[in-house]
Structure 1
Amino acid sequence: MPRRLLATAMVLLGVGLTGCSGDPAERAPGDPVTAEEAEVLAGLLARDAEEGGADVVVTAPFGEEGLLTLTGEVDLAASAGRARAVTSYGDGRPDDVRTLFFTREQIWFGDVPGLPEALGAAGLPEAAFVRRPLATGPDGVPLTDLLVQVVLNLGTEEADGAGAFLGGGATWEGQRSIDSRLATVFTSETGWSVAVDDTSDLLLQYERELPDQGTEVTVTLADHGPRTIALPEEGQTLDAQAHPEVAAAVGV
């Protein structure tokens, strides 16, 4: 596996590629990718970044019935995003809904229950967001932080080498429809799966089991194109590192 894709996989990613060559009827799921497909695979994440970004939906089950869903948009060129995070517990408790902004270094939480009261008790001015460093591991990384890293790693500046996807490094798994767009599906022996738009050679869906989580994350991208993410202003934000007592009180 090439250097860039290997690094991505180790951070919870991988990559895929697209564009099926030849007649699908002559192939069987599990067949090695062709040289042409390997070239498409090698440039997939770089093409995602060149497009700018996309709308994004991320889902990851947890526990017996829980589900965390992030819905928003990502600027893959600038490594920034925003999302509505909904945690559904599946046990009768109401959903937990937060607003997220994120980069590779920081994550902002908005709509945090109890934040106004915690700020008042600490004698601090009002703030709409709490910001803390993005947790990168290796241990005890919150599921939200893991999903954010998965999303941001779906875009890179440089293409990988095509050779590493040949000889069984990646396999062709057929075609399916993703949001009414025909896509070719590829998988890797390292555990990732991708569905790539047959028309544009852009990533439509990425799936991978999260290490040590026992759950599979699914990222669906749509409407690729330039995005601008306006991060929360400093005056709207409480620094969790500077005020750990407030961050602890509201669970951030």
Structure 2
Amino acid sequence: MPPRRRPLLAAGVVLAVLPGLAACSDDGERQEGDAVSEAEADVLAGLLARNTEEGGADFVVTAPYGEDALLTLTGEVDYTDDVGRAQAVTSAGGAEQVRTVFFTADRVWFGDVPGLAEALEAAGLPPAGYVRRPLAPEGEEASAPLTDVLVRLVLNLSAPEGDDPGVFRAGDYSWEGQRSIDGRLSTVFASPTGWTVAVDGSTDLLLQYVTGLPGQESRVTVSLSDHGPRDIAPPADEETVDGAAQPALLAAVGL
């Protein structure tokens, strides 16, 4: 496979290998667990590249963690400039916390942060609506903040070019049937490492990706919709405080 960005998979495998679609084989009715066909391997090989070609998408990411806790990111991503924004809702024990998040491949911005105004005042810093800090590096998913892992996963669902379809024809990738996602008929495929994808039957676009995360039994679901160009701008420097230069501030507001 050509060099490319690598999404986060439970077993550290490249998401460059994603499947594509077909409902029936030449030999008759499909059975769940059947190997992907040549046509499906072709769709699979171009799945991430098609996200790049489309330019962006709306997304929803759900990630259970801990006991009775859930992090949900709802937003949009620009795959042309590698930037996104989302509303992050943390639900735990019946209580919710909502923050605004912007992200790029190397930075993340947090807005609507409880206690930020007071922490800035206590640190003698001017008012700011957002705190920015570096995004946790790839390869450190097990210890990185969950928000960082999820936004990087969203960004990594794209690639500058397609892969070799032979990867899927030779591998143990399987057809897992069809189902409706947000009113769109999709075909589901599974990888030998445990992640699954659902592919739109009419457009060959990625609708859903489900995977595990290092050190967690629960699975993360990324749903994409309304594929197309996006124009997203992170907060300007004058609107933000540099959290990397203010570690005590980051600690004070839980970032």
Q: Into which bin does the TM-score normalised by the smaller protein fall? A: over 0.9
Alignment of 1:148-227 (within 5 A): 148-227=151-230
Instruction: With the length of structure 1 as denominator, give the TM-score of the two structures.
Output: 0.93
Instruction: With the length of structure 2 as denominator, give the TM-score of the two structures.
Output: 0.92
Q: 2:39 aligns with which of 24, 36, 40?
A: 36
Aligned length: 249
| Aligned mates of 1:21, 1:205 — CA distance in 2 | 17
Give the gaps of 5 or more residues in structure 2: none
Q: Which amino acid aligns with 1:120?
A: E
Which deviates further from its counterpart, 137-146 or 11-20?
A: 11-20
Kept in 2: contact 1:12–1:211 (CA 8 A): no
Map of 2:75 onto structure 1? 72
Q: Which amino acid aligns with 1:18?
A: G
Kept in 2: contact 1:56–1:71 (CA 8 A): yes
| Aligned mates of 1:63, 1:12 — CA distance in 2 | 26
Percent identity, please: 57
Alignment of 1:1-252 (within 5 A): 2=1, 7-8=6-7, 9=9, 10=12, 13=15, 15-20=17-22, 22=24, 26-89=29-92, 91-92=93-94, 94-136=95-137, 137-138=139-140, 139-252=142-255
Q: Render the CA deviation track for 1:143-166: whole Å, top value 9, x for unaligned.
A: 111111110110110111110101
The alignment yields a C-alpha RMSD, in angstroms, of 1.9
Kept in 2: contact 1:19–1:201 (CA 8 A): yes
Give the gaps of 5 or more residues in structure 1: none
Aligned-partner SS, 2:210: strand
Which deviates further from its counterpart, 233-242 or 4-13?
A: 4-13
Aligned-partner SS, 2:108: strand
Structure 1 residue 6: Cα displacement:
9.5
Aligned-partner SS, 1:248: helix
Structure 1 residue 247: Cα displacement:
1.3
